[in-house]
Structure formats: C-alpha cells, structure tokens
C-alpha cells in the first residue's frame, strides 16, 4: 500500500468518526440498583398475608433486614434487627452483599412487615 493511500484511508476514517462517532461502551452493571430492583419486585409480588424475609449473615451474626439505605449506588446500609431484637446496621459495598430472601406467611391478625427503601438522589 502506498503512503498516499494509507494517508487517505486514515483521513477518511477520521472524517467518518467525526460525523458518526462510535457508540459509547455499555455502562457497567449497577449492583446496588439491581439488588434493590430484585428485592422490590419480590416484595411487590407478595399476597396480603405474606411478608418478605431478607436475611444477611456475617460472621456469627444474622440480621433481618427491614430497610435498605443507599447513600450511593456503590454503598449499601442494611438496617434491621438481630436475634436479640437489637437494631443493627451493616455498611458494605453493594457488589459484595449476599442476601437470603424468602416469603413467609404472617400469623392471623398480624400486619405483614414491609421493607423500606431509601435511594440516592
């Protein structure tokens, strides 16, 4: 290939890219938003006599999550109660959380607990 042809080809490519820029690379998945969407979808599908139990295990501790607070989509604060009924908070990277979610029937006459969600603005 002659030097003139190579220069012409590079110039044509530069003009094509200026007129039609290449597509932006896809955004990386947002684990915080994906986790929130999954838990919300599970809770939305519940019947009136059911509640969603979301459990988080770390070390020897188990937390029943009652609220998700995301100060940013990368950081999750799980607020709930431990087996001793103490209010407990876990602060973790959203992409490192592993949760156990299951549907449970509510005792007759009791109101089902609903998980609350606070997201970044």
**Greater model confidence, 15 or 85:** 85
What is the spatial distance between Cα 9 and Cα 15, in angstroms, rounded to a whole number? 10
SS (H, E, C) the chain: CCHHHHHHHHHHHHHHHHHCCCCCCCCCCCHHHHHHHHHHHHHHCCCCCEEEEEEEEECCEEEEEEEEEEEECCEEEEEEECCCCCEEEEEEEHHHCCEEEEEEECCCCCCCCCCEEECCC
> pLDDT by residue (tens digit) across 57-115?
988 889 999 999 999 999 999 999 999 999 999 999 999 999 999 999 999 989 999 99
Of 6-10, 23-27, 71-75, 111-115, give the lowest mean pLDDT range: 23-27
The first and second tokens of residue 58, run together, are 């770390």
Q: What is the total residue count of the chain?
A: 121
Residue 4 pLDDT > 90:
no
**Can you give the residue ranges of every domain in the chain?**
31-118
**Greater model confidence, 110 or 25:** 110
In the numeric block, the tokens 């998700």 are attached to 68
C-alpha closest to that of 64 among 5, 8, 20, 115: 115
């Amino acid at each position: 290939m002659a030097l003139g042809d190579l220069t012409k080809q590079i110039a044509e490519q530069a003009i094509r890219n200026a007129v039609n820029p290449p597509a932006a690379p896809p955004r990386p998945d947002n684990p915080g938003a994906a986790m929130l969407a999954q838990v919300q979808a599970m809770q939305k599908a519940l019947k009136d006599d059911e509640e969603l139990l979301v459990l988080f295990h770390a070390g020897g501790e188990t937390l029943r999550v009652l609220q998700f607070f995301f100060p940013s989509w990368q950081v999750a604060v799980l607020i709930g109660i431990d087996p001793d009924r103490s209010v407990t908070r876990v602060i973790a990277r959203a992409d490192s959380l592993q949760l156990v979610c299951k549907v449970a029937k509510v005792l007759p006459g009791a109101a089902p607990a609903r998980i609350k969600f606070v997201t970044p603005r």
